[in-house]
Amino acid sequence: MANEFFPLFYTFHFYLFGLVALVGAIVFITRKSPVAAALWLVVVMAALAALYVLLGAEFVGMMQILVYAGAIMVVFLFVVMLLNLGHPSELNDIRGKWGRLAAGLIGLALVAELMALSRSAVTLSVTLPARPPADVIASPGGVIGSIADPLFNEYLLAFELTSILLLVAIIGAVVLAKKRSA
């Protein structure tokens, strides 16, 4: 409903959250304290979730917050706090001039890639999809039906294989933990 009336509102927030995500990401990689860096990463993830919601992918946006900001980053923080890595001034990820040089080169390559992409035929203008109408929301499955249907019908085998992969990882973690304690 709001889309037809407020294109400016949507576009403004799209660029606002895009800016927040970019600035958050830059601050995140320049922090030396691991806890501060982790918190800035949470900011990036929240901004990304907002972008997904603005683009009409509400389910993906919520999963972004639930899984990344709410579960994975909490575990990250937990580990960082337990490790107690020492004073931030002693920490530095990039060691030596070769490390710095390689990092700079990779960064330049990525920027060049972006420039090349912006000159290609791919349209980069933002087109916002319409919000789902009320009858879709009230139908069985709701707005996530369009994700659930192919996932559990067409791609069921791939889905089950992925879950087995995760199961293997869990069992591996248990085995490793047991070895250390013995």
Binding site for other proteins (CB under 8 A): 1-2, 5, 35-36, 39, 42, 58-59, 61-63, 65-66, 69-71, 74-75, 77-78, 81-82, 132, 136-138, 140-144
- Name the minimum Å distance from CB 59 to other proteins: 6
Q: How would DSSP label each residue in 79-132?
A: HHHHH----GGG--S--HHHHHHHHHHHHHHHHHHHHHHHHSSS--S--PPPPP
DSSP 56: T
- Name the minimum Å distance from CB 58 to other proteins: 4
Nearer to other proteins, 18 or 31 (CB): 31
- Name the minimum Å distance from CB 154 to other proteins: 19
The token duo for 33 is 């304290």
In angstroms, rounded to a whole number, what is the distance separating the alpha carbons of residues 8 and 19?
A: 16
Nearer to other proteins, 23 or 144 (CB): 144
